[in-house]
Structure 1
Amino acid sequence: MNIQRFIDARKDQGLSQSELAEGICTQATLSRFENNGHIPNLKILIKLCNRINLPLSELFPKVGVKYSEVVEKMNKAEFFLITSKYERAEALITSIDISQIEDTQLVLRYHYLNGFIMIFQEKLIMDISFTFDQILLEEEKIDTVIFRLLAYTGIGMVYSREGDLIKAEFYFNKVLEKIYNYPAKNMEDTWRVLNIVFQCGVFYAKIDELDISDALLHYAVNICSDNHVTYYLARAAIQLAKNAIVKKEANDKILELIYDARAYSKINRNDIALTELRDLEAFVLEKKPSEE
Structure 2
Amino acid sequence: MKITIGNILKQTRQSQGLTQKAVADGICSQAMLSSLEHNKYIPNAQLIIALCQRLSISLEQLNLAENYAISNDKKLNQKLNFLCNQHQYQLLFELLHQDSTLNSLTTPSQIQSYYYYLAISEFQLKLDVTHAVQHLKLALASESSKQSVLRRLCLGTLGLILNLHTSSSGDVYLQQSLKNLQDNIYHPNLNILFYLQAFNAYHQQNFLECTHTIENGLSFITNHDSHYMLANLYYLLAKVASKTNNLNLQNEATQRSKIFTELFNERPYQDFKI
**8 Å contact 1:153–1:200 — kept in the other structure?**
yes
Match of 1:72 in 2: 78
Find the aligned partners of 1:194 and 1:245 in 2 and give their Cα distance: 24
Aligned residue runs from structure 1 range 34-113, under 5 A = 66-80=72-86, 84=87, 86-87=89-90, 89-90=92-93, 93-94=96-97, 97-113=101-117
**8 Å contact 2:108–2:143 — kept in the other structure?**
no
Question: Given the alignment of the two structures, is residue 215 of structure 1 paired with residue 212 of structure 2, yes or no?
Answer: yes
Match of 2:125 in 1: 121
2:188 to 174, 187, 190: 190
Find the aligned partners of 1:224 and 1:103 in 2 and give their Cα distance: 31
**Any unmatched runs of 5+ in structure 1?**
1-64, 258-292
The amino acid across from 1:220 in the alignment is: G
Question: Given the alignment of the two structures, is residue 173 of structure 1 paired with residue 175 of structure 2, yes or no?
Answer: yes
TM-score (norm. length: structure 1): 0.52
2:159 to 118, 143, 156: 156
Find the aligned partners of 1:176 and 1:228 in 2 and give their Cα distance: 18
Query: More relative contact order in 1 or in 2 (CA 8 Å, sep 6+)?
Result: 2
**8 Å contact 1:77–1:92 — kept in the other structure?**
no
The structural deviation recorded for 1:149 is 1.9
The structural deviation recorded for 1:127 is 0.8
Find the aligned partners of 1:240 and 1:209 in 2 and give their Cα distance: 13
Match of 1:131 in 2: 135
What CA RMSD, in Å, does the superposition of the two structures yield over aligned residues? 3.2
SS of aligned partner of 1:229: coil
- Pair 205,89 (structure 1): closer, same or farther in 2 beyond 3 Å: same
Instruction: Give the fraction of aligned pairs with identical amino acids, expressed as a percent.
Output: 11
**8 Å contact 1:119–1:154 — kept in the other structure?**
no
More off after superposition, 86-95 vs 149-158: 86-95
- Pair 145,104 (structure 1): closer, same or farther in 2 beyond 3 Å: same
**8 Å contact 2:201–2:210 — kept in the other structure?**
yes
Match of 2:6 in 1: none
Find the aligned partners of 1:246 and 1:148 in 2 and give their Cα distance: 33
Match of 2:197 in 1: 200
The structural deviation recorded for 1:219 is 3.5
Structure showing greater radius of gyration is 1
The amino acid across from 1:153 in the alignment is: G
**8 Å contact 2:194–2:213 — kept in the other structure?**
yes
